[in-house]
Structure 1
Amino acid sequence: MTKQIWLNLPVKNIEKSKQFFSSIGFSFNEEYSNGHSACMLVGDKNFVVMLFEETMFASFVQNTIADTQTHSEMLISIEAESRQEVEELAQKVNEAGGVVFAKPAENQGWMYGCGFSDLDGHRWNVLFMDYAKLKR
């Protein structure tokens, strides 16, 4: 049935968003990007996150876009390879103008992560998961 899943996010400024995400380590497929949208690739399997200017996004969803300053529409989680990678990403987010709303810390004894908001207030969760410590 499905071949792939994409995440679509509204952004106020495509170029600023591309600059932010590039500076924290993400790449873009320019073949599927233009002045109103950008195709961001996440992870080894190149999970696609499409960034769309808000007016274009609104025309797709035919609904009001959530105010990310007062509401969360979702939490986007990505896996890190180490505790150090979590800490480095948090530092890059701060330097790039994002907001680290949850500083790097251990969670539940087997996860280490942080939470950040991008330039448009979308919330991201970065986790290193030590499965050997997971109590089943």
Structure 2
Amino acid sequence: MSQMIFINLPVADLDRSRAFYEAVGFVGDARFTNQFAACMVLSDEIRVMLLTHGFWSAFTDRRRLDPAAEAQVLLCISRADMASVDAMIKAAAAAGGTADPCPPQDNGFMYGRSFGDPDGHIWEPMWMSADAAEMGPAEMADAD
């Protein structure tokens, strides 16, 4: 079995969050979904677990932050090209998210934007050229 990541996010409204994540390209996995949690699949290795606030509290005693006012992580995901980045931002905004809560970045070899989900969790879809992915962004910047 390949290694997987399950990103756990507390959400205020599970149904609204499920609909939002489906609108930006995630697919629900009914095997790990109930009235307290929804598993949303981005790829074979990446899953997002949307957890109601009450269910989230069963996993940690730490204070839950308000993602609309505070940030603990920025979730960066690769896309196939710049148009796919823009399409994901457009879908997020149309589904009730916030487009570009962080400044867009265009470095020529790397392009990224961001969206906030209905709870305020920030995702950063980005595209990087194959050369930059192989050489590293610092070398690409030096080549300019």
TM-score (norm 2): 0.84
* Contact 1:38-1:51 within 8 A present in 2 as well: yes
The question of whether the paired residues in 2 share the 8 Å contact of 1:90 and 1:103 is answered with no
Q: Which amino acid aligns with 1:15?
A: D
| 1:65 corresponding residue in structure 2 | 64
Letter in 2 for 1:89: M
Greater Rg over alpha carbons, structure: 2
Aligned-residue Cα RMSD (Å) equals 1.8
Cα distance in 1 for partners of 2:96, 2:66 equals 19
- Report the Cα offset of residue 14 of structure 1: 0.9
* Correspondence 1:27 to 2:27: yes
AA partner of residue 61 (structure 1): T
Deviations 1:69-104 (Å, cap 9, x if unpaired)? 221010111100011001111111110010012465
* 1:29 alignment partner AA: D
Task: Give structure 2 stretches of 5+ with no counterpart.
Answer: 140-144
State percent identity of aligned pairs: 28
Equivalent in the alignment of 2:142: none
SS in 1 for 2:113: strand
2:25 touches 2:42 (CA, 8 Å); kept in 1?
A: no
| 8 Å CA contact retained: 2:112, 2:124 | yes
What TM-score does the superposition give when structure 1 sets the normalisation length?
A: 0.89
Alignment-derived partner of residue 81 in structure 2: 82
My pick for the range that moved more, 75-84 or 3-12, is 3-12
Tell me which protein shows more strand as a share of its residues: 1
| 1:13 has 2:31 as partner | no
Query: Is 1:127 the equivalent of 2:131?
Result: no
Task: Give yes or no for contact 2:3–2:45 (8 Å, CA) kept in 1.
Answer: no
- The answer to whether the 8 Å contact 2:98/2:116 transfers is yes
Following TM superposition, the consecutive aligned residue runs of length 4 or more in structure 1 with deviations greater than 4 angstroms are: none
Rounded Cα–Cα distance in structure 1 between residues aligned with 2:89 and 2:17: 17
Q: Which residue of 2 aligns with 1:98?
A: 97
1:97-127 superposed Cα distances (whole Å, 9 cap, x missing partner): 10012465413x3211101110111011100
Q: Tell me the secondary structure at the aligned position of residue 65 of structure 2.
A: coil
Aligned residues: 133
- Offset at residue 63 of structure 1 (A): 1.5
* In structure 2, distance between residues paired with 1:63 and 1:120: 18
Matched residue, 2:112: 113
